[in-house]
Amino acid sequence: MDIPALTDEKLKELELKANQARELLIKMLLEAGSGHSAGPLGMADIFTALYFHVLNHNPKNPDWDDRDRLVLSNGHICPIRYVTMAQSGYFPIEELKTLRKIDSRLQGHPHRDSLPGLETTSGPLGEGISQAIGISLAAKLDNKKYHTYVIASDGEHQEGNTWEALMFAGKHKLNNLTLILDRNNIQIDGFTENIMPLEPLKEKYTSFNWEVFEADGNNISEFINVLGLAKKIFEKPSVVIAHTIPGKGVTFMEKDFHWHGKPPNQEEAKKALKELRTLQGRIISEHQ
């Protein structure tokens, strides 16, 4: 199934929804007193695009056999997935306040058996791509038409098993698989290119028999368009290297690796929410 065309009205809706997601994210991190800020803020546009325009899914029937599969490999950014799942109706928005609390369904890494709509349990980096490849291969063997998307961080490309998985997918020409690589250039200890350089990523993927696309992951229109192109590839798996700004929307967090695994305090949250409300007004005026 092709990705639907994006109208100006739908783009406005998605941009406002992504901004609302960032506000909900700041509030839930403040309430939890722990969790990751930078990566989830940077991926708000992509998760909004997926849940509200790209994925063939049904929150009222999360185990629908023909649903598209979405695997989150870098499980630590799950707060933004929780937010967009709540926005789309998988569970009440009020439940976001339980993030990381005892007996909550919303733990610091997603747990498949705790929450409807999750395909895998994730935590240790580098495993999600292998899991998504298994799901894609199963679809081929069972002659199923659903598409599998997997989101992975750039930092976990420092893991050897990531490249073993990519080699396997290229060998089996899994054209029902699209990998979205969050290229935000940070990890918990600093910048990726200082800790363990990853470039040239595009050439590496090409040599592993993947079709490679690049997109601005914080431009919803561009991202959806590129994802549509990736889905039309029939000879091999596709990867979209999505360049995102960690901490996007909150200027004092942007491009600062110290916010990788740190939540805002009361004063920081207040400042962040003020910025995001200003941004909401800007989005509305730009679409008038």
- Structure letter (DSSP) for residue 50: I
Tell me the average pLDDT across 117-139: 94
Domains in the chain with CATH codes: 8-286 (3.40.50.970)
Q: What pLDDT does residue 89 have?
A: 97
Q: What pLDDT does residue 288 have?
A: 76
pLDDT digits (tens, 9 = 90+) for 209-263: 999 999 999 999 999 999 999 999 999 999 999 999 999 999 999 999 999 999 9
Percent of residues, the chain, with pLDDT higher than 70: 100
Tokens of 254: 């942007």
Q: What pLDDT does residue 1 have?
A: 75
Percent of residues, the chain, with pLDDT higher than 90: 95
Q: What pLDDT does residue 178 have?
A: 98
**How many DSSP H helices and E strands does the chain contain?**
10, 7
* Of 223, 179, 221, 222, residue with least CA distance to 201: 179
Of the pLDDT bands very low, low, confident and very high (cuts 50, 70, 90), residue 10 is very high
Of the pLDDT bands very low, low, confident and very high (cuts 50, 70, 90), residue 29 is very high
Helix axes 160-171, 128-141, angle to 10 degrees: 20
CB 237 within 8 A of CB 210: yes
The amino acid occupying position 235 is E
Tokens of 81: 């997935």
Place of tokens 């990705």: 3
pLDDT digits (tens, 9 = 90+) for 53-106: 999 999 999 999 999 999 999 999 999 999 999 999 999 999 999 999 999 999
